A and B are shown apart, each in its own frame.
Chain A
Amino acid sequence: MIPELGQVALILALSLALVQATLPIAGAALQRADWMALARPTAIGQFVFVGLAFGVLATAFLGDDFSVLYVAMHSNSALPSLYKFTAVWGGHEGSLLLWLMILATWTMLVAVASRSLPEELAARVLGVLGIVSVGLLLFTLLTSNPFERLFPAAFDGNDLNPLLQDPAMAIHPPILYTGYVGFAVPFAFAVAALLSSRLNKDWARWTRPWAISAWMFLTVGIALGSWWAYYELGWGGWWFWDPVENASFMPWLAGTALLHSLAVTERRGIFKSWTILLAIMAFSLSLLGTFLTRSGVLISVHSFASDPARGLFILALISTISGGALVLYALRAGRMGAEGGFRLVSRESFLLLNNILLVVAVAAVLFGTLYPLFLDALDLGKISVGPPYFNTVFLIPTLPLVLFMGAGMHATWKSMSGETLARKLVIPAGVAVLLGVLVPWIIFRGASVLTMVGVSLGFWVIGAALLEPVQRMLASNHAATVLSRAQWGMTLAHLGVGIFILGATITSSYNIETDRSVRPGDRWEVGGYEFVFRGTRDFDGVNYSAVEGEFEVRRNGSLVTIMTPEKRIYRVQRSPMTEAAIDAGWSRDLFVALGEPLGDGAWSVRVQVKPLIRFIWLGALIMAFGGLLAATDPRYRRRKVAHEARVGAGASPESV
């Protein structure tokens, strides 16, 4: 009986969403305050009912209710409780419910936080969010009902995919989805602006914290996914240009462009239609990501569904939502006049370049991701596009992007003499190039041109980000107050980019990877470390049995660590899983994975030494922390403020 309650709750949520999607928008057009007033209660009601449905499904999982088909497919009574809960989003239906849950949460937050907004704008924003919600609720109820019964009930469940039985997998999807779905809010603001044909600096100020928050979650989500792939997929890579990764990376790139464009719109009242277009793009790419991962068009661990009806439904949904927004954009965008101009050397130009280069990067990744699908759909042959393509085309826009990034941080709004800018940056640029050449040669005894370029760019961004705060701190004795919170946010986010670049460059250039066959007692050397294989032992885990290898690692004779990689067989699905052993460190990771037994006690093993790989995820986390600071800047919390026009030539360069 209880699972049916979940379905009823979803149907009730759908009826509320229908009201939320229609009356408030109509009310804003017809000036009916009573219709507009429906937006908030319906949004909050929807949150309650979707939450109820989610709770019901989670209860079914925790209570091992194998009369529910979805539970029987993705859980097992022997599964640890934590994974019973995370199994809620371990399959197609449940992950859609998670999507809905997160959309309802964002919508509820907008409803609560929008009291300081003009009533019409709030009604339109919530109305648009209602439209998105109607689409996804219909999708869930019509094609992917998680509460469908299994008759007769299964005696026990099919178990959760062993790859997903992992703590990072527990939090990766919710955080990633929070980012994905969060771009629905700037999207709704953009469509609301198009509906009213009004877009001013206040609009940008209201939209910005939402966009930054969504971006922040997406950043953490992608980093977690990369980290998980690194240690759980077993082979030590951190980014594979897998279509599923691209699906989350494209909205991130578009979202990053959106943040920078919004900064210009808030400060200067220009780039308006561009900002709107980017907001539409970021959310459309999020929907496309949902389509790619959820429709089964891709061959990947992420695509649980292979029902063509679902794919068609999502495709229709994307066309309706994105297509509708784009039509509206074509009709209305021309009405948004710019409120000022700018010169060639100015912060606006640099941000424009940032936007163009990011969009080029999106286009390159999109092309490589979708082209094989198109060929396949047209029956023109089966191809795939290898990582070298992505590595090359991604560097083309991002190398200049990073180069201009350092300069853009120090350019002033409106106009600036190129000479002043050059004088300010010549020392950091020189230092960066010097370090970029020296560091790889001194530490790693050699470097390719691309490595030196990468390391130089990393130091360049770090130096450019820290230049202003360091100079100011030296001039003042109150370190924390020299920059506003948003400025600290920008500084940290850019610092994170620099750290990421250093990590990615050094890891890719100096990663040592060896496969070999070893017997107990064998000693061999990899990247300055001596590895000793001491043999294997068998043991039993909660729901798997395993072979564990023991490896002693020494450097210059002294013991560094003992590493114990495992090979597990999960009892229900009988699938083998490699659990790599990783000795993490700031300067390097040691990575050991067991291959398979070769007979006579010999095993194939993979050993890797990966310098600076932690910087990749550290950089991403610092970026996200910068986002957190920027999103919580006090100026976004101000109540209804009189229209301010304090922006102008006199604004200080680093205010964002």
Chain B
Amino acid sequence: MTPRRQRMLLIGLVIAGVGVSAGLALRAFQENLLFFFSPSQVVAGEAPDNRTFRLGGMVVEESLQREPGSLTLNFVITDYVNSLPVRYTGVLPDLFGEGQGVVVRGRLVSDGGFLAEEVLAKHDENYMSPEVADALARAAEAGAK
């Protein structure tokens, strides 16, 4: 092969490689996008039924119930307008608590509740995730109308 043809071959290979990987990357991207919804949006039917998303709000006081001796627990997340029951099995993060902001990742189940695979409650006790703060503000606005 002449150097010129070699170079064309190299360029062709690179372009093909970039094309294939961009395609694969976009697919991975679409499959792994996680949307965020508030309880009000879920109640209004905006959240998908069959895929994972994130739900955020406040944990309702005295809503936390543990199934005795097991790691499964139930609690209710609210944006002070609408609420949604959540079930989770596992160890809770340090800063999870009633009356505090929380974000859970999981999906809707047939009884209308939310089955969480992961509970996120980082940061200090005064902190509220901007997403949760935003969801509360929007719900309050909608409720006032």
Q: Which A-chain residue is minimally distant from B135 (CB atoms)?
A: A382
Q: How large is the interface on B (under 10, 10 to 19, 20 to 34, 35 or more residues)?
A: 35 or more
Q: In the bound complex, do residue A381 and residue B32 qualify as a contact, i.e. CB atoms below 8 Å apart?
A: no
Q: How far is the CB of B130 from chain A (nearest CB, A)?
A: 6
Q: In the assembly, what is the distance between CA of A595 and CA of B91, in Å?
A: 6
Top 5 A-B pairs, shortest CB-CB distance: A595-B91, A389-B32, A392-B28, A382-B36, A344-B6
19 A-B residue pairs with CB within 8 Å = A344-B1, A344-B9, A360-B18, A360-B21, A367-B29, A384-B34, A385-B29, A392-B32, A393-B24, A393-B29, A396-B21, A515-B91, A573-B125, A575-B95, A596-B91, A598-B66, A599-B66, A604-B90, A605-B91
Q: Which B-chain residue is minimally distant from A569 (CB atoms)?
A: B94
CB of A523 within 8 Å of the partner chain: no
Q: How far is the CB of A59 from chain B (nearest CB, A)?
A: 27
Q: In the bound complex, do residue B125 and residue A383 qualify as a contact, i.e. CB atoms below 8 Å apart?
A: no
Q: Which A-chain residue is minimally distant from B120 (CB atoms)?
A: A299
* The one of A367, A371, A596 that contacts B92, using a Cβ cutoff of 8 Å: A596
CB of B14 within 8 Å of the partner chain: yes
Q: In the assembly, what is the distance between CA of A600 and CA of B24, in Å?
A: 51
Chain B residues with CB below 8 A from A344, complex form: 1, 6-7, 9-10
Majority SS at the chain A contact face: mixed
CB of B131 within 8 Å of the partner chain: yes
Chain B residues with CB below 8 A from A387, complex form: 32
Q: How many A-B residue pairs have CB under 8 A?
A: 108
Chain A residues with CB below 8 A from B131, complex form: 299, 382
Interface residues of B in 81-104 (CB under 8 A from A): 89-95
Q: In the bound complex, do residue B69 and residue A393 qualify as a contact, i.e. CB atoms below 8 Å apart?
A: no
Q: How large is the interface on A (under 10, 10 to 19, 20 to 34, 35 or more residues)?
A: 35 or more
Q: In the assembly, what is the distance between CA of A300 and CA of B32, in Å?
A: 20
Q: In the bound complex, do residue A575 and residue B10 qualify as a contact, i.e. CB atoms below 8 Å apart?
A: no
Q: Which A-chain residue is minimally distant from B6 (CB atoms)?
A: A344
CB of B33 within 8 Å of the partner chain: yes
CB of A560 within 8 Å of the partner chain: no
Q: In the bound complex, do residue A386 and residue B91 qualify as a contact, i.e. CB atoms below 8 Å apart?
A: no
* The one of B3, B71, B124 that contacts A341, using a Cβ cutoff of 8 Å: B3
* The one of B1, B18, B94 that contacts A576, using a Cβ cutoff of 8 Å: B94
Chain A residues with CB below 8 A from B69, complex form: 517, 598, 600, 602
Q: Which B-chain residue is minimally distant from A519 (CB atoms)?
A: B69
CB of B74 within 8 Å of the partner chain: no
Q: Which A-chain residue is minimally distant from B94 (CB atoms)?
A: A576
* The one of B33, B92, B95, B122 that contacts A383, using a Cβ cutoff of 8 Å: B33
Q: In the assembly, what is the distance between CA of A593 and CA of B92, in Å?
A: 11
Chain A residues with CB below 8 A from B95, complex form: 575-576
Q: Mark A336-364, 1 if CB is under 8 A from B, else 0.
A: 00000101100001000000100010001
CB of A95 within 8 Å of the partner chain: no
Chain B residues with CB below 8 A from A386, complex form: 32-34
Q: In the bound complex, do residue A606 and residue B91 qualify as a contact, i.e. CB atoms below 8 Å apart?
A: yes
Q: Which B-chain residue is minimally distant from A349 (CB atoms)?
A: B10
Q: In the bound complex, do residue B90 and residue A515 qualify as a contact, i.e. CB atoms below 8 Å apart?
A: yes
CB of A5 within 8 Å of the partner chain: no
- Of the candidates A364, A388, A577, A578, the one having the most CB atoms from chain B within 10 angstroms of its own CB is A364
Q: In the assembly, what is the distance between CA of A472 and CA of B94, in Å?
A: 55
Q: In the bound complex, do residue B91 and residue A384 qualify as a contact, i.e. CB atoms below 8 Å apart?
A: no
Chain B residues with CB below 8 A from A575, complex form: 94-95, 124-125
CB contact under 8 A between A299 and B94, given known A396-B21, A598-B66: no
CB of A646 within 8 Å of the partner chain: no
Known: A575-B124, A596-B92. 6 other contacts (CB 8 A): A161-B124, A384-B54, A385-B33, A397-B21, A604-B91, A604-B92
Q: In the assembly, what is the distance between CA of A650 and CA of B34, in Å?
A: 55
CB of B110 within 8 Å of the partner chain: no
Q: In the bound complex, do residue B91 and residue A299 qualify as a contact, i.e. CB atoms below 8 Å apart?
A: no
